[in-house]
Amino acid sequence: MTDHTGTRRGFGAWLMDPKRRGALLVTPAIVILFVMNIFPLLWSFGLSFFNYKATSQRVPTFKGLSNYEKVLTDERTWERFQTTALIVSSSVILQLIVGFLLALLFAKAFPMRRIVLMLVLTPMMLSFVSVGVFFKLFYEPTFGIVSYVLNFFTTEHFVMLATPAGAIAGIVIADAWMWSPFVMLLVLAGLVSVPKYLYEAAEVDRASKWRTFWTITFPYIKSLLLLAVLFRTIETFKLFDIVYIITEGGPGSATETIAVFLYRNAFQFFKTSHSSALAYIVLFIVIVLTNLYLYSVNRRAEEVD
């Protein structure tokens, strides 16, 4: 192997300087991300100040902040945000509960654990489209298994996705089913980090299960629970595929999340500039949440050390 720094001259030598090695290695990744992410974002940032329509040939004109004003004063925007908030919060809460219970169940070592665990972990690895297909089939009013089971309890014919509440519940259940294993994994990570001798000490000290949980278990998992909440909030905030497959936002606009709303505006009504402005508002929210998430990640890293 030859030493690059000594022999070459000019640009090659400058480029291969060990001082720049870090930057050099990062460059390909940054370039691709710039081309495929940053540049488009800047472009749409620009577009959000014009009145551009992707289907129209008209030369766009500068409109200043009027798109943002329109988006923020539009009642529908707030309705969609509310829908999204409702779906996100109920889904994340459900995921927390189910994931937490599953984690408690799987925290012990038992024979064949790895294989049994697969039964629970599989949903997380499926595609949104598959999960959408599953649940659409289950909710099917005539031959769906959910409708079939519900018919035992109510005599009237129940079409789950026909009512706003039913449709939202349908989506929340599908999403929570898919992602509860994620919360379970995080909680499990917390549970296994509890030193065994603390539980032994609590046993010797004759502490009740309840007290043992609150003084020993909970402190070890609370930072991971926070991570789970933030991560799942960010992810559920993007919820698009499942809604698109199961309800397409219906009935009416009852399940139209902000992502579906954006999709409609941008690709069905081609209100390009208008939706760019909305996209930026969404981006801002995600950046704030991501910041919070990373802050919690670092804080937990310090705790673990």
> Which residues, 134 to 193, sit near other proteins by CB under 8 A?
134-138, 142-145, 148, 177, 182, 185-186, 188-189, 192-193
In this chain, which stretch among 74-82, 89-97, 112-120, 156-164 interacts with other proteins, using CB under 8 A? 112-120
- The answer to whether residue 26 forms part of the interface with other proteins (CB under 8 A) is yes
What's the sign of the alpha-carbon dihedral 237, 220, 184, 180?
negative
CB atoms within 10 A of CB 29: 9
Q: Which two tokens mark 68?
A: 């943002």
Q: Which residues, numbered 201-220, are part of the site for other proteins (CB under 8 A)?
A: 201-208, 211, 215-216, 218-219
- The answer to whether residue 116 forms part of the interface with other proteins (CB under 8 A) is yes
Q: Which residues contact residue 17 at a Cβ distance below 8 angstroms, ignoring those fewer than 6 apart? A: 5
- How far is residue 120's CA from residue 106's CA, in Å, rounded to a whole number? 10
Q: Which two tokens mark 251?
A: 């009935």
- The answer to whether residue 85 forms part of the interface with other proteins (CB under 8 A) is no
Q: Which residues, numbered 231-290, are part of the site for other proteins (CB under 8 A)?
A: 231, 234, 237-238, 240-241, 244-245, 259, 262-263, 266-267, 272, 275-276, 279-280, 282-283, 286-287, 289-290
The one among 13, 30, 65, 97 contacting other proteins by CB under 8 A:
30
- The answer to whether residue 36 forms part of the interface with other proteins (CB under 8 A) is yes
The one among 32, 72, 97, 162 contacting other proteins by CB under 8 A:
32
- How far is residue 113's CA from residue 52's CA, in Å, rounded to a whole number? 56
The one among 57, 58, 61, 115 contacting other proteins by CB under 8 A:
115
- CB-wise, 81 or 128, nearer to other proteins? 128
Q: Which two tokens mark 201?
A: 């000490």
What burial letters (b/e) apply to 132-148, b meaning 16+ CB within 10 Å?
bebbbebbbeeebebbe
Q: Which residues, numbered 2-21, are part of the site for other proteins (CB under 8 A)?
A: 3, 18, 21
Residue 50 backbone dihedrals phi, psi, to 5 degrees: -110, 180
